[in-house]
Chain A
């Protein structure tokens, strides 16, 4: 009933390959965007924006990066946190070296540095795959962590070893550091995430995406139909790292305000991998669902005891939270190994027939 696409005819392949082949999807996205751009900034308070909406969007962006690599191109990576760090440190260096250039340009540029690093660490993927490649990406993770901590030039030789975000403005309104209002930061993050998601959705439908999927499904067959593995895999690494890099820059400049090595450690990489797997490998929607789920679950779990008026000490809550997150991951993998996005697809299929299933 809700999803009845009767009467929507496609007469060309082009129309069939559109971003939203069904009109309801298009209307739905417009509605969601309207809520995100208009209703949320007007109604949500700073806590909601700062600790739920902004991080969810940023992690979703990083998860898209990882999903392009792991879900679409089939290359397992445990180094996304490191690539986010490259973006963040690159953006910090750019912002301090060229203070007059607009910070948004820096954020987009910093992704290219991450892409370059990702390209280099993607080179082993030509020889190896699967878990062996995962270990290779772990090498990048630990090397980058070490570099962020040891190369003083990266954090401008300050004593704390952390990067502090300078205040930058857009049209006279401060958008970074503590002086910026969460609403402005939220809108900027949202705009960038929407833009890059749109780019990603076109990428995966286009030549690159189809080549990636061919390599993922069977690399030898992909080679036989004329896909060159070398550029395809390296492109996946570079683009994936670009997304991670921009997400890292956003994370520091639009959310945390300051960062050190621990902000990009191996746990971040794992968290992102969880988001992608729980959300759904090979699905952009899944990245958002996974990010929202994994990021907000601990916040929700912290809030539960307070709802019932009982006070449990913070350490216990954290331990139980670890157990629940771990347990839920196993549970989700058992119930739906294809992730939340697959659940949504099933629901959509049901909605098409509702209320008259046959």
Chain B
């Protein structure tokens, strides 16, 4: 029993203390996957805020965006043109989702809309595999001008390797968030978006078109998905496995709150750090691979103390 307590409560911290460079590397890994989760969660939040739809298909939109890009470049389309075309595809997707799925289902229960996005999820998986094939693909980083090297740092008597790509991903994430923040706070459409998020009927009554707003949020979620897809695809292969990884955005949302953009970022980072540290230091005690469920438990524990999330609105529907 004493041995167990030692292994759980003391030994991991001893390891951290004795090899700080390793800890830094683990933290960096956590930061990188946290960025990915944060970006996916960002797409969720955008759509949830404006339309109250819990968009399950966000993960597959990421894959879909990345696949289209890879597919187009493989066809010989120049990278810049391919990105523009992908943005066009995302716009078309947003338009058809609004037209074919959201508009007929307006005023339905949230669970029905949630189910509809799961249906959309399946549809996009089928379409993506049909058009691009089901096998994993490699993101052509060179054509896209993404850095692929790595920096080695001598820190605290050890070596920390930082992929330049990850730095680029973090930079893209920051740019996206800053851009969205400006868009939401400074532009006319952004104000309309916030109005819709607050109250649908009040927004309608002052002449804001709900359908247009929905198209815009789905489009911006699509852009976020595309950026996520490029960054994530450059790290590992582009495959449909990401749709399961994307589910980790859910604990992120619980941590950060369903309606908060800063919450999505902070939540994503907490989950990222948490799961990597838990996996590395505590995982071996129970046989490894605990990062598949650890984020959910972290979120659960968190829920008990702060059900509205870190940045969520105070009023929350709970018992």
Contacts and interface: CB of A to CB of B under 8 A. Distances in A.
Interface of A: 76, 124, 126-132, 134-136, 138-139, 142-143, 145-146, 149-151, 219, 229, 266, 270, 273-274, 277, 315-316, 318-330, 333-334, 337
Nearest to B122: A326
Contact of B319 (A129, A131, A135, A270): A129
Contacts of B114: 131
Contact of A329 (B108, B118, B292): B118
A270 B292 CA distance: 18
Contact of B293 (A146, A270, A329): A146
B119 A330 contact: yes
B247 A322 contact: no
A128 B318 contact: yes
A126 B319 CA distance: 7
A219 B54 CA distance: 23
B157 interface: no
A143 B293 contact: yes
Contact of B108 (A143, A150, A337): A337
Contacts of A316: 130
A320 B116 CA distance: 18
B318 A131 contact: no
A143 B296 contact: yes
A322 B122 contact: yes
Contacts of B124: 326
Interface of B: 54, 100-101, 104-105, 108-112, 114-116, 118-127, 129-130, 134, 244, 247, 250-251, 253-254, 258, 286-290, 292-293, 296-297, 299-300, 303-304, 307, 317-319
A337 B126 contact: no
B307 A127 contact: yes
Nearest to A278: B115
A224 to B, nearest CB: 13
A241 B105 CA distance: 31
Nearest to B296: A139
A-B residue pairs, 9 tightest by C-beta: A322-B126, A326-B123, A326-B122, A329-B119, A139-B296, A323-B126, A142-B293, A319-B130, A330-B119
A323 B318 contact: no
B145 to A, nearest CB: 32
- Interface SS of chain A: helix, strand, loop or mixed? helix
Contacts of B304: 124, 127
A139 B292 CA distance: 9
B130 A146 contact: no
A138 B114 CA distance: 15
A139 B303 CA distance: 13
19 contacts: A76-B111, A124-B300, A135-B250, A138-B296, A142-B292, A143-B297, A146-B293, A150-B288, A229-B319, A316-B130, A319-B130, A321-B126, A322-B129, A325-B126, A329-B119, A330-B100, A330-B119, A333-B108, A334-B104
Contact of B115 (A132, A136, A266, A333): A333
Given A143-B297, A150-B287, A266-B244, A323 B127 contact: yes
A322 to B, nearest CB: 3
Nearest to B244: A266
Contact of A129 (B112, B125, B288, B318): B318
Contacts of B121: 326
A274 B120 CA distance: 13
Contacts, number: 138
A139 B297 contact: yes
A129 B307 CA distance: 10
A136 B303 contact: yes
B305 to A, nearest CB: 10
A124 B318 CA distance: 11
A139 B125 contact: no
Given A128-B307, A139-B297, A330-B101, A319 B118 contact: no
A274 B253 CA distance: 24
Given A150-B287, A326-B125, A130 B119 contact: no
Contacts of B317: 129-130
A326 B126 contact: yes
Contact of A132 (B112, B244, B254, B297): B254
A146 B120 contact: no
A320 B122 CA distance: 10
Contacts of B118: 270, 273-274, 329
Contacts of B253: 135
Given A136-B296, A277-B115, A323-B123, 8 more contacts: A127-B303, A143-B293, A321-B126, A326-B121, A330-B100, A330-B101, A330-B119, A333-B116
A327 B119 CA distance: 6
Q: Which of B100, B123, B307 has the most CB of A within 10 A?
A: B123
A124 B319 contact: no
B28 to A, nearest CB: 25
Contacts of A146: 289-290, 292-293
A136 B250 CA distance: 10
A327 B134 CA distance: 19
Contacts of A126: 319
A46 to B, nearest CB: 30
Nearest to A276: B115
Contacts of B300: 124, 135-136, 139
Contacts of A326: 119-126
B297 A127 contact: no
A85 B109 CA distance: 30
Contacts of A333: 105, 108, 112, 115-116, 119
Contacts of A334: 101, 104-105, 116
A117 to B, nearest CB: 14
B279 to A, nearest CB: 12
Given A129-B317, A326-B124, A315 B110 contact: no
B301 to A, nearest CB: 10
A62 B80 CA distance: 50
Contacts of A124: 300, 303-304
A149 B258 CA distance: 32
A327 B244 CA distance: 21
A318 B111 CA distance: 27
Contact of A325 (B122, B287, B292): B122
Given A330-B101, A337-B108, A132 B289 contact: no
